[in-house]
């Protein structure tokens, strides 16, 4: 029963994480950027006031934790027989892709986005344009986030595809 609950947590939180990333990067963010300052205010509201960024972080951490426990259980404690099987390789590829996406989000995306939110909130509260130092901080944060707009969705797509098919890969042999 515990593993059914873990599997549900892994799948449902992973679906939320994947859907949030793809929707945000492919649809919402381009519109927000195109809207200029008003779009940025909307995005800050979504990220700060609706706590969307924290919800995505929570889903990512739940996905990774449940997935690691499931892999540990399925592999018999990282038994090489399972790890080298067709299914094991499929799960491992998905796990590594998801883990790299998580690391990029936790150590680059999340902190950079929090910096943008902090500066934007201050500018909004003080109703002023950014200072040169704030412009530089925003530019550095945006530069750090730019490659993640491609990397994280690609990595999560690889993880999702690998996880969805890993159990069935032996049927191809």
Q: Is residue 95 in a domain? A: yes
Question: Do the Cβ atoms of 28 and 47 come closer than 8 Å?
Answer: no
**Counted domains in the chain:** 1
> Using CA atoms, how far apart are residues 148 and 156, in angstroms rounded to an integer?
11
Q: Please check whether residue 70 is in contact with residue 10, taking contact to mean a CB–CB distance below 8 angstroms.
A: yes
pLDDT tens, 68-116?
A: 999 888 877 877 888 788 888 899 999 999 999 999 999 999 999 999 9
Average pLDDT over the chain, rounded to whole?
Answer: 91
The pLDDT score that the predictor gives to residue 33 is 87
Residue 173 falls inside a structural domain: no
Give the pLDDT confidence score for residue 173 in this predicted structure: 66
| pLDDT score, position 1 | 67
Q: What percent of the chain lies above the pLDDT cut of 90?
A: 65
Domain assignment present for residue 171? The answer is no
71 within domain boundaries: yes
Q: Give the residue numbers spanning the domain of 103.
A: 2-166
Select from 106, 116, 172 the least CA-distant residue to 140. Answer: 116
């Amino acid at each position: 029963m515990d593993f059914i609950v873990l599997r549900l947590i892994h799948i449902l939180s992973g679906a939320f994480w994947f859907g949030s990333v793809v929707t945000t990067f492919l649809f919402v963010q381009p519109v927000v950027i195109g809207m200029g300052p008003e779009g940025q205010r909307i995005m800050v509201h979504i990220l700060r006031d609706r706590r969307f960024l924290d919800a995505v972080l929570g889903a990512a951490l739940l996905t990774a934790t449940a997935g690691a426990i499931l892999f540990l259980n399925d592999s018999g404690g990282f038994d090489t027989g399972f790890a080298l099987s067709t299914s094991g390789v499929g799960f491992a590829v998905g796990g590594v892709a998801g883990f790299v996406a998580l690391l990029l989000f936790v150590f680059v995306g999340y902190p950079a986005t929090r910096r943008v939110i902090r500066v934007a909130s201050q500018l909004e509260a003080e109703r002023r344009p950014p200072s040169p130092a704030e412009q530089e901080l925003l530019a550095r944060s945006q530069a750090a986030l730019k490659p993640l707009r491609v990397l994280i969705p690609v990595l999560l797509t690889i993880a999702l595809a690998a996880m969805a098919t890993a159990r069935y890969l032996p049927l191809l042999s």
